[in-house]
Structure 1
Amino acid sequence: MQKLPSTYRWALHIHALQRQRPFAFSAHKPQGGNNKPGSAAQMNNKNNASSSTGGGAKGKDEANIEGKLPNAVMGKVCTRFPPEPSGYMHIGHAKAALLNNAYARMYEGKLIIRFDDTNPSKEKQEFEDTILEDSKSLGIVPDFVSHTSDYFPKLQELMEKLLKNGDAYVDDTPVEKMRDERDNGVESACRKFSVEKNLELWKEMLAGTKTGLTCCVRGKMNMKDPVKCLRDPVFYRCKTDVPHHRHGTKYKAYPTYDFACPIVDAIEGVSHSLRTIEYGIARRFLSSSSCKVLVLY
């Protein structure tokens, strides 16, 4: 099984599912009667963002075998399928796409397919096209197609505000040393950089200079957290090796998924963000932390 880690993970997942009774979408009657879905403009209503940040939700995984969505209202549910266009559609994509589509249609809401195009080294237009084609073959037609890169200017603006507020810092520590420090709960020396120093290095990253390429932006969280991925996670990194398939060489710094996705969810009015169990509490905490950016700024 060591040679087939993905197969092993799926086997464990299927084994766990066999211990539960069948998933039934029809077991729950949505709230709100026969209300019609909102307009496309309502997708940008920030009031809809509360559910994606965990507002009113229980402090545990919300997935359940009855097929219920917490805080769901007929015509107001908005889900999203956010694949990275770095390969062809696979079974994991299909599962996520079908689940998000099923809930969107069940509640007479909306489905967004948003391409997480934040890593130009791996992404191609070809993959976007085939993912859309394969989604259609599964009976999935989104109400809206977007790209994380549509929001790059806003994400850069919010990142700069985090730096100015002292909630993030630019780190030029070599990768191996950074990894060792994270494993051992040791704070980076760069954590003590002044706001002015951080902004200076941030400009180098945005310009894609030699200095900028040695840097990343990290969220100032807790380096002693027992969950290692929460120890000052990377929010932005610099990439210039390959032009972006949509924007060419316009951008040199790119946000990570954990920073960008929850913020864009809020901007687009996503009401319910569906994730599988392996993401667990760590990613949920990162998502809520990123969404605080919108609240604070």
Structure 2
Amino acid sequence: MDGSIANPRPMLAIGLRLITAVVFATMGMLVKLGGERGVHLVEMLFWRQIITFALITAGLVLFGKLATLRTNRIKSHAGRAALGGFCMFFVYGAVLLLPLAEATTLSYTAPFFAVVIAVTMFGERVGLYRSAAVLIGFSGVMVIMQPTSMGEEITLFGVFVALAAAAMVAVISFQIQDLNKTESPWSIIFWFTALSTPVFLILMPFFASAHAAETWLIIIAMALCGALAQILLTSSLRFGSAGVILLIDYTSLLWATWYGYSVFDRAPPSTLWLGAPLIIGAGLLIAYRERLLAREKTGSVTDS
């Protein structure tokens, strides 16, 4: 648990990512189920963070790796924790406001925002591939926003919350990329939970309420899924590159669709099947272009 780079093991990375997709989809289902039972968003975020904090701390103690928490970048960790905690409101809020499949699909727009951020904040040049990917992806968003074949309508507010969440995830990815230069993955997770949990604890008296035993089981299961997903995600990146295993992330849509139908009795509308391929295809196009950009260091590839 020292954050060192492990030998590449692509099949293990893919297996871990497959499990991660299932766990993330399950967490989303439990968030939505908890919301229907009157659990406030602040409560869910508090339990999500404090359980992750407890598990990460226990793991570091068990493996004798507490020394990896030493850091000279506490301000950077604080900035990541502030944005990360704020982002969680939008990520969980999107699940509460939208059907699971639609919320999951819109979360796939994060790579498009990453391209926009890279261009506007870091001055990167955007060429045909990435420009086309952004346009195709947001075309998919517009399709999903149309009234569904079941006579329901995806609210503009729900879509805004989901897109805001994706945009913040993109920003956070740059923060984590920067922190990874000097910090171990476990240190990044630890400081994120350690710095954000007290904030949610302060808010708890204003939003916490009594719940039935079954509801508490949902809350605890949701928090455990969140902690497990974060650990699995970190572990998968130790054994395989993000570009190689990106496609696996999209399997979470299958699980979200299944949960939407089996738990919430909500079949996916035709607009989802039209919009999702556009968004996923655009994401894969960006991933393909990033591989070309990596090879550009040899001078053999240009952005067309």
Alignment TM-score, normalising by the size of structure 1: 0.27
Specify which structure has the higher proportion of strand.
1
Instruction: Flag the structure with higher helix content.
Output: 2
Q: Does 1 or 2 have the higher relative contact order (CA < 8 Å, sep 6+)?
A: 2
